[in-house]
Structure 1
Amino acid sequence: MNEQDRYRKRAAALQYDFESDDAPKVTATGKGYVAEEIIEKAKANNVPIQSDPTLVELLSQLNINENIPEELYQVVAEVFAYIYQVDQKVGKKTN
């Protein structure tokens, strides 16, 4: 990996519907321009964003629509807990 690749922006998107999904799944991954587009779409749709380069690297190795492996359940649960907290704060501000 060259120096430019090391600092290139990366992004991954997850989706989880507790009523129909067995586990969260990867819905998008990318680096560089594609990562920027993923982040911009998330912002435009008020989707909370959390920065975790190690997790993004691991998620980027999965196929789109692939469920995350059990080894990542704990860390992804922490991400979803963060999102829940953000949603709660935003909900309090708008009510």
Structure 2
Amino acid sequence: MSRKHRRSAAALVYDAQGNDPAPRVIAKGYGMLAEMIVQRAKEAGLYVHEAPEMVSLLMQVDLDTRIPPQLYQAVAELLAWLHRLESGAEHAPEGGVAAAAQDVTDVVATDIADASGGTSRR
């Protein structure tokens, strides 16, 4: 695969009941590293969401750093999607995005993106 079209992946962790006021990026990478992130997520039973825009934004966040307020809405929508998957609901959960974020702990976003280089740490 060309350098401009390598797969990229970013992993988030969020514990609304804990002391995390916002999700954090706990792993990110390109190429084989992205493949490993996705593989480990799937092996751990985590959800993998494929969204090029989300990955592009998350790749700009430093590791072990909370997402910036500018990404709250986009990540909240991702968490709402995850909550709907986990609950089997077809529509947005009662209580909106805040309710959706209550039980989420890990999610990985992945896509094929234009980029060069990456790192991972858990």
TM-score by shorter chain over 0.5? yes
Match for residue 30 of structure 2? 31
Cα deviation for residue 14 of structure 1 reads 0.4
| TM-superposed deviation, 1:8 | 0.4
Q: Name 1:6's counterpart in structure 2.
A: 4
Deviation at 1:60, TM superposition (A): 0.9
Please give the root-mean-square deviation of Cα atoms over the aligned residues, in Å: 1.3
Aligned residues between the structures: 87
Q: Could you tell me which residue of structure 2 aligns to residue 84 of structure 1?
A: 83
Q: Structure 1 or 2: larger strand share?
A: 2
The answer to which structure has the higher helix fraction is 1
TM-score normalised by L of structure 1:
0.85
Q: Which amino acid aligns with 2:3?
A: D
Equivalent position of 2:102 in the other structure: none
- Residue matched to 2:112: none
Task: Name the structure 2 match of 1:67.
Answer: 66
Counterpart in 2 of 1:40?
A: 39
- SS of alignment partner, residue 18 of structure 1: coil
Tell me the distance in 1 between the aligned counterparts of 2:86 and 2:45.
10
- SS of residue paired to 2:63: coil
Amino acid at match of 2:39: E
* Secondary structure of 1:14 counterpart: strand
CA distance in 2, matches of 1:72, 1:62: 10
TM-score normalised by length of structure 2: 0.67
5+ unaligned residues in a row in structure 1: which ranges?
90-95
